Amino acid sequence: MASVELYSASLSSIGETFCGYIDVQIDDDYSADISILESTAPCSSHRCYIPKPPPLPSKAYKNTRCLKFRNFTSVPRETKHAWDRLFKEGHGADVCIVTEDNSCILSHYTVLSVASPVLGTFLLQAKVKNGMKYIKIPRMPYGAVHAFVRFLYSSCYDEETIKKFVLHLLVLSHCYSVPSLKRLCTSCLEDGSLTEENVTDVLQLAMDCDAPRLTFFCIRMILKDFKSISATEGWKVMRRANPNLEQELLEVVVETDSRKEERSRKMEERKVYVQLYEAMEALLHICKDGCRTIGPRDQVLRGSQATCGFPACKGLESLVRHFSNCKVRVPGGCVHCKRMWQLLELHSRMCGQPDKCKVPLCRHFKLKMMEHSKKDEARWRMLVSKVMAVKISLGPFTSKYSDRPEVL
* Mean pLDDT in residue range 231-249: 91
321 domain residue, yes or no:
yes
Q: Is the pLDDT assigned to residue 29 strictly greater than 50?
A: no
Q: How far apart, in Å, are the Cα atoms of 276 and each of 52, 282, 313, 363?
A: 54, 10, 12, 20
d(CA 270, CA 392): 13
Q: Is the pLDDT assigned to residue 323 strictly greater than 70?
A: yes
Q: 26-30, 83-87, 238-242: lowest mean pLDDT where?
A: 26-30
| pLDDT-derived band at 342, boundaries 50, 70, 90 | confident
Q: How far apart, in Å, are the Cα atoms of 82 and each of 73, 91, 156?
A: 17, 11, 11
Count of H helices and E strands in the chain? 18, 6
* Mean pLDDT in residue range 9-22: 47
Q: What is the pLDDT of residue 370?
A: 72
| pLDDT-derived band at 307, boundaries 50, 70, 90 | low
> What percentage of the chain exceeds 90 in pLDDT?
31
Q: Is the pLDDT assigned to residue 329 strictly greater than 70?
A: no
- Non-local CB neighbours of 4 within 8 Å, separated by 6+ positions: 379, 380, 382, 383
Alpha helices in 22-134 (DSSP H): 58-68, 77-89, 109-115, 117-124
The number of distinct structural domains making up the chain is: 2
Q: How far apart are the first and last CA of the chain?
A: 22
Specify whether the CB–CB gap between 285 and 259 falls below 8 A.
no
Q: 167-181, 300-314, 380-394: lowest mean pLDDT where?
A: 300-314
Q: 145-150: which pairs have CB atoms within 8 A and are 24 or more residues apart?
A: 145/97, 145/99, 145/105, 145/172, 146/99, 146/105, 148/172, 148/173, 148/176, 148/178, 148/181, 149/87, 149/97, 149/105, 149/107, 149/112, 150/84, 150/87, 150/88
- Non-local CB neighbours of 175 within 8 Å, separated by 6+ positions: 118
Which residues are 107's β-sheet partners? 95
255 domain residue, yes or no:
no
Rg (CA), the chain: 38
121 domain residue, yes or no:
yes
CB atoms within 10 A of CB 179: 9
- The predicted-structure confidence for 262-305, as pLDDT tens digits, reads as follows 888 888 888 888 888 888 888 877 777 777 666 665 555 554 55
* Burial track 22-48 (b if 16+ CB lie within 10 A, e otherwise): bbbeeeeeeeeeeeeeeeeeeeeeeee
Q: Phi and psi (nearest 5°) for 231?
A: -95, 0
Q: What is the pLDDT of residue 373?
A: 75
Q: What is the DSSP string of 26-50?
A: -------------PPPPPGGGGGGS
* Mean pLDDT in residue range 387-397: 75
Greater confidence (329 vs 327) lies with 327
For the chain, what is the mean pLDDT? Answer: 77
57 domain residue, yes or no:
no
Q: What is the pLDDT of residue 333?
A: 67
CATH number for position 362: 1.20.1020.10
Q: Is the pLDDT assigned to residue 381 strictly greater than 50?
A: yes
228 domain residue, yes or no:
no
Q: What is the pLDDT of residue 221?
A: 92
Q: What is the DSSP string of 262-330?
A: HHHHHHHHHHHHHHHHHHHHHHHHHHHH-BTTEEEETSPPPS--PPP--TTHHHHHHHHHHHHH-S--S
33 domain residue, yes or no:
no
| pLDDT-derived band at 397, boundaries 50, 70, 90 | very low
Q: What is the pLDDT of residue 330?
A: 60
Greater confidence (209 vs 20) lies with 209
Among 158, 190, 214, identify where a domain stops.
158
Among 107, 126, 158, identify where a domain stops.
158
- The predicted-structure confidence for 82-132, as pLDDT tens digits, reads as follows 998 999 888 889 999 999 999 999 999 999 999 999 999 999 989 898 889
- Non-local CB neighbours of 384 within 8 Å, separated by 6+ positions: 346, 349, 350, 407
Residue 127: domain span: 77-158
- The predicted-structure confidence for 150-203, as pLDDT tens digits, reads as follows 999 999 999 999 999 999 999 999 999 999 999 999 999 988 888 999 999 999
CATH number for position 90: 3.30.710.10
Q: What is the pLDDT of residue 396?
A: 58
- Non-local CB neighbours of 262 within 8 Å, separated by 6+ positions: none
Q: How far apart, in Å, are the Cα atoms of 32 and each of 6, 22, 246, 299, 404?
A: 38, 21, 67, 18, 25
87 domain residue, yes or no:
yes
Among 132, 158, 184, identify where a domain stops.
158
Q: Is the pLDDT assigned to residue 406 strictly greater than 60?
A: no
226 domain residue, yes or no:
no
